[in-house]
Structure 1
Amino acid sequence: MSTAFKDMTGAPEFLAHALQLEQEAAVRFDELADMLEVHNNHKGVVELFRKMAHFSRLHLAEAKERAVGVDVPALKPWEFKWPGDEAPESGEITDAHYLMTPHHALKLALASETQGFDFYQGLADNSAHQDVRAMAREFADEEAEHVATLKEWLDRYPEPDSTWDEDMDPPVSVD
């Protein structure tokens, strides 16, 4: 993912990005929770991911509240100023595997939250607009808490051995 900084035109554009980012983060955490629940049943991590999805929805609600009375632009997918092709917290779901362990799922989640933090922190540090810097700083602080939580959880689940993805009875695809 590119880390090139792209400034916002002001608070309305920032809010458009925050709304999309937090919505996608909630969906991704639910997807990770679902994958673990269906394939590995690691209840503690599943509950953590449901909680993280809830926090993303709280951030989404906060962004929606700030957007009341603001003419937030309806951006087309190619108009978002993400550092890459997708919202920073949407994660690399292509790295998910049906046999992934809590360690792998936590690493995916940590990478997503770190990218979200970096996005907001980049705006907090570099935006030409004081209102964008202030809101981005608040959102970055919230993301920093999520990053710290995921790091704590990752310490509980060491990296599995190199044969973690061997399946003696792999799923069969019917063409």
Structure 2
Amino acid sequence: MNDVAEFLAYAIKLEEDAAARFSDLAESMKTYGNREVAEFFGKMAHFSRLHLAEARKRSGFHTLPDMKPEDYKWPDDESPEATSMEGSHYLMTAEYALALALQSEENGYAFYQNVAVTTKDVEIRTMAEEFAEEEAEHVAELKKWVKRYEAA
């Protein structure tokens, strides 16, 4: 990826997906009676919305491409942070929800890392590295929660 506006369009979509996923997981955990994990996912949704706002702010000086869902060329054909909620059902456990979230955040991290190492554009590389660092923080936090629930 070597066009800043295109990179920002991808980053905005990815962060929109992350915020929506965490909000969905928070609601699922409320439904399934786990307020603690619901609150954690709510906090993660908030952080994703902050990252989304940052990406949108950075795009203020660029004309972003008008991209439809089919225009995005994602690894594995879908947004890295779009967790499948098909596994969401009345027996969903906190462990499963945390695993879904962790996988998505790891995918988001890998996406940004890949952009950082493959782009020829210095501005994109810098932004991708910053965004990857934010995703790495999410991954680390989720790993703590996964470990905590494995031990319970």
Normalising by the residue count of structure 2, what TM-score does the alignment of the two structures yield? 0.95
| Partner residue in 1 for 2:112 | 120
Point out the structure with the larger helix share. Answer: 2
Please give the alpha-carbon distance, in whole angstroms, between the structure 2 residues aligned to 1:33 and 1:134: 32
Taking only the aligned residue pairs, the percentage that are identical comes to 50
The reply to whether residue 15 of structure 1 matches residue 8 of structure 2 is yes
Please give the alpha-carbon distance, in whole angstroms, between the structure 2 residues aligned to 1:116 and 1:93: 17
Q: Which amino acid aligns with 1:23?
A: E
* CA apart distance, 1:140: 0.1
The reply to whether residue 25 of structure 1 matches residue 35 of structure 2 is no
Gaps of 5+ in 1: 1-7, 161-175
Please give the alpha-carbon distance, in whole angstroms, between the structure 2 residues aligned to 1:97 and 1:129: 44
Which of 1 and 2 has greater Rg? 1
Of the three residues 88, 92, 96, the one matched with 1:96 is 88
Q: Which amino acid aligns with 1:93?
A: M
Of the three residues 145, 156, 160, the one matched with 2:137 is 145
* CA apart distance, 1:125: 1.3
**Aligned structure 1 segments of 4 or more residues deviating by more than 4 angstroms:** none
Cα deviation, 1:2-29, whole Å, max 9, x if unaligned, reads xxxxxx2311000000111101110111
Q: Which amino acid aligns with 1:10?
A: D
Please give the alpha-carbon distance, in whole angstroms, between the structure 2 residues aligned to 1:114 and 1:98: 26
Q: Which amino acid aligns with 1:9?
A: N
Please give the alpha-carbon distance, in whole angstroms, between the structure 1 residues aligned to 2:121 and 2:74: 17
Residue correspondences, number = 152
The reply to whether residue 106 of structure 1 matches residue 106 of structure 2 is no
Cα deviation, 1:31-54, whole Å, max 9, x if unaligned, reads 11111111x211111011000100
